[in-house]
Structure 1
Amino acid sequence: MTLINCDIGEQGPLHEGDRKLMEFIHIANLACQGHAGDKDSVEAFRALAAERGVRVAAHLSYPDRENFGRATMRLPDAELLAALEAQLALLPGVTLVKLHGALYNDAWHDAALAELLAGWLRQSGVSGVIAPADAELSFAARKQGITVLREAFVDRRYVYDEPAGRLRLADRTAPDAVIADAGEALAQAENIITHGRVNVSGDPAHPAWKELEADTVCIHSDSPIALELAAGLRAAMDAGARDNTGAGVKDNIRLVRAGVCETVGLPVYGRQDIGVSPGGAMDCFSLRRGNLMLGNAEGSPALEILAAPELEILAAGHFVLTGARHKAVIHRGGNTAAVEHSRVYTAEAGDHLTFSEKSYGLQTYFCFRSRAEGGPGGKAAEAVPYAAVSGWADLQGRIRVVPGPEYKYLENPKLFFENAWRTTYKMDKVGIRLAGEPKLKCGVGNMISGAVADGTVQLTPESPIILLRHRQTTGGYPRIFNVISADIDLLGQYAPNQAIHFVQVTLDEARAFARQKEAALSKLR
């Protein structure tokens, strides 16, 4: 679920507009006296947030009330950190931070500043930060073990900085830098949330799309359309939440013969600090690919099939099978027809779908779109084989990793890449235990439990384990490597007793592979 955040308390504790906005938002970024706000506004809105179930973030800025924090200040490191510490002190116990104005933009592009701030945030007990996905602050925060909520703006225009190869916000002094029409802002929000993209042309009639992924979207409280935009966006989100962004398989199929399967959607991030793992589909790439082929929202519920069931389709529509290659047959009346993997098929109410042997992988995804929701997407009746969209994967089939926090204590890290590892039967949605010789040795002794992530490779006394999306949120074994985000979905298709090989890559390479993967999916939108 994408969260709405809003900058609150910049106009005093009694500002009626801010109070009304609190009815619609998920996160309130409270101004902490740096660019605006004061002790009274912080206390008033923190109390209101508690009453309405809104999470609070500390909104920190350069100490510059005269310019509303929108001018870069060249301060000595100690002076800047002291100013931020004084602001954070107004919100004791708050562990989520968002930067404001010039400091937000400077930490987006200045790696040295980002490293300084991330280190200070960690030392200050901050566990989460709101920042752009490609911000230097996001990269630095993750290195410090801080959760990043990737942010996008729905009421600001974006431009693409070609030399830097990244998005940035249009300069506020530029014409139309701020979106003044609520309908246009809602359309931008829909593209960001549903399609992971934003138009950088400035012309809605002739869009130029760039990738933009977000866990949270921001509305500026001082915008004339803020209240209309927040109400409209929250209503759309709540409607989507009721049907999980699309009916998908819900209420459209019946299990005639049970196998091992369940209805799944996409993982939900941002709750690890309260002990909740992301969960969701084991192979999100296959889930998203199937839904996009049908014209569904990417997170629409699908059936994740481990062992073959028999399905009855209750409503006319279209379906596609992705992920593991199950042999499948559709039964209509007295006729049968083989179902090809990764091809969209028409279904009628009363059709049955049966599955038999599996030739590849572990999890098959049955994605569905009812006729009542409209026809399928642009790939209707057309096959889109995995090979056509898998150019991001390693050509030799290896799983790519980067060093983990305790990597430096490994006595011979090369063994991890040289060993003939196999998956074991000790595997589930939480993780995969590996088997292989010789055993790895790590010089770290007893350690305090630390945060773990999707793909964390922990070295237990028995053998390494790879954590998946239904994992715990902390762990006490050495975290020697981490599977890159692009390859997490590949792990979801490994069966027991299967050979698995690894290769080490750099963080820059990992980010490039993630972008390639998203670009492959964007071809289906």
Structure 2
Amino acid sequence: MTLVPIDLNADLGEGFGRWTLTDDERLLSVVTSANVACGFHAGDAATMRRVCELAAARGVRIGAQVSYRDLAGFGRRAMDVPAAELAAEVAYQIGALEVFARAAGSRVSYVKPHGALYNRVVRDAEQAAAVVEGVLLADRTLPVLGLPGSRLHEAAAAAGLPVVAESFGDRAYRADGSLLPRGQEGAVVTDPDEVVERAVSMARFGVVTAHCGSSVEVRARSLCLHGDTPGAVGLARRVRERLEASGVRVEAFA
């Protein structure tokens, strides 16, 4: 069996001012792609600059993690934003991060929505099209990282943008391949051993056990390791070590 390489991505730069959430420096020693908060759900100019410099120094790809304008709710609250406004805000976030990525000797290599926006564009064609319009305004070559089979990927592919399928080791899946909403019990997998086993199963065999117990096909090129959970760095290291020990090559997709 020939194993497809897997990218490890993590949400980084999720702080604001004196408040910090993610251990950016140590996570950047594990992951191959960094989803950098662009100031709308978390992050500020100084944080974005610092994370870009750290990522560039380690050869980690920099991605723009775009979101609804929701600092208070960490971008996880449902919002209704007009399509034209959302497109402009997505382009704005990518452009802001690109300044710091370029200054660090790198560039923004992909785009990934965050939180409520990520979940919304799985099924909402209008919001998905607005996100794609924003990406096109910023850079017509940027890959879009997201859930396989989502409206976002449909819109991105139709617009000629590369799409990259993503999986989650620490999130519960529904039988249709979508993520169990965070508000529901069991949505986040907290047992480290289970997270590691799920990650390896998806990377090696393209399957994971859904919340209902059924087997779900999840074929992805990138695996998300959330940086805002307790013990995130240690867990990320365990996942990478097990993947490599299982014969899976870990490398960036971009």
TM-fit CA distance, 1:123:
3.1
1:150 is aligned to 2:156:
no
1:199-348 matches, within 5 Å, as 199-201=209-211, 207-241=213-247, 270-271=253-254
Provide the identity percentage. 33
1:3 is aligned to 2:7:
yes
* Unpaired segments ≥5 residues, structure 2: 99-106
Q: Give the alignment partner of residue 138 of structure 1, picking from 153, 170, 181.
A: 153
- Alignment-mate amino acid for residue 118 of structure 1: V
Query: In 2 relative to 1, CA 98–16 (structure 1 residues): closer, same or farther, beyond 3 Å?
Result: closer
Q: Give the alignment partner of residue 47 of structure 1, picking from 47, 50, 53.
A: 53
Deviations 1:235-291 (A, max 9, x none): 1233345x869xxxxxxxxxxxxxxxxxxxxxx9945xxxxxxxxxxxxxxxxxxxx
Q: Give the alignment partner of residue 26 of structure 1, picking from 32, 47, 60.
A: 32
Q: Give the alignment partner of residue 117 of structure 2, picking from 71, 81, 103.
A: 103
Query: In 2 relative to 1, CA 72–16 (structure 1 residues): closer, same or farther, beyond 3 Å?
Result: closer
TM-fit CA distance, 1:201:
3.5
1:172 is aligned to 2:172:
no
Structure 1 distance, partners of 2:22, 2:109, is 27
Match of 2:102 in 1: none
1:86 is aligned to 2:92:
yes
- Alignment-mate amino acid for residue 54 of structure 1: V
Match of 1:112 in 2: 126
Structure 2 distance, partners of 1:235, 1:270, is 19
Contact 1:26–1:54 under 8 Å retained in 2? yes
User: Which SS does the other structure have where 2:23 is aligned?
Assistant: helix
Match of 1:187 in 2: 197
Structure 2 distance, partners of 1:149, 1:100, is 15
Structure 1 distance, partners of 2:96, 2:159, is 23
Structure 1 distance, partners of 2:152, 2:81, is 18
Deviations 1:201-246 (A, max 9, x none): 45xxxx42011111001011111132122101111233345x869x
User: Which SS does the other structure have where 2:64 is aligned?
Assistant: strand
User: Which SS does the other structure have where 1:90 is aligned?
Assistant: helix
1:129 is aligned to 2:144:
yes
TM-score by length of 1: 0.43
Query: In 2 relative to 1, CA 110–16 (structure 1 residues): closer, same or farther, beyond 3 Å?
Result: closer
- Alignment-mate amino acid for residue 127 of structure 1: L
Larger helix proportion of the pair: 2
User: Which SS does the other structure have where 1:169 is aligned?
Assistant: coil
- Alignment-mate amino acid for residue 7 of structure 2: L
Query: In 2 relative to 1, CA 244–68 (structure 1 residues): closer, same or farther, beyond 3 Å?
Result: closer
Aligned-residue Cα RMSD (Å) equals 2.2
Contact 1:182–1:228 under 8 Å retained in 2? no
Q: Which has the larger radius of gyration?
A: 1
- Alignment-mate amino acid for residue 155 of structure 1: D
TM-fit CA distance, 1:102:
0.7
1:66 is aligned to 2:72:
yes
TM-fit CA distance, 1:128:
0.5
Match of 2:103 in 1: none
Contact 2:13–2:36 under 8 Å retained in 1? yes
Q: How many residues align?
A: 239
User: Which SS does the other structure have where 1:171 is aligned?
Assistant: coil
Query: In 2 relative to 1, CA 217–229 (structure 1 residues): closer, same or farther, beyond 3 Å?
Result: same
- Alignment-mate amino acid for residue 149 of structure 2: D
Match of 1:329 in 2: none
Contact 2:129–2:152 under 8 Å retained in 1? yes
Larger strand proportion of the pair: 1
Structure 1 distance, partners of 2:221, 2:249, is 16
User: Which SS does the other structure have where 2:171 is aligned?
Assistant: coil
* Unpaired segments ≥5 residues, structure 1: 161-165, 246-267, 272-525
Contact 1:2–1:215 under 8 Å retained in 2? yes
Contact 1:180–1:224 under 8 Å retained in 2? no
- Of structures 1 and 2, the one with the larger relative CO (CA 8 A, separation 6+) is 2
Structure 2 distance, partners of 1:238, 1:269, is 14
User: Which SS does the other structure have where 2:97 is aligned?
Assistant: coil
Structure 2 distance, partners of 1:16, 1:172, is 19
TM-fit CA distance, 1:84:
2.0
1:196 is aligned to 2:209:
no
TM-score by length of 2: 0.87
Q: Give the alignment partner of residue 77 of structure 1, picking from 74, 83, 92.
A: 83
Structure 2 distance, partners of 1:196, 1:129, is 20
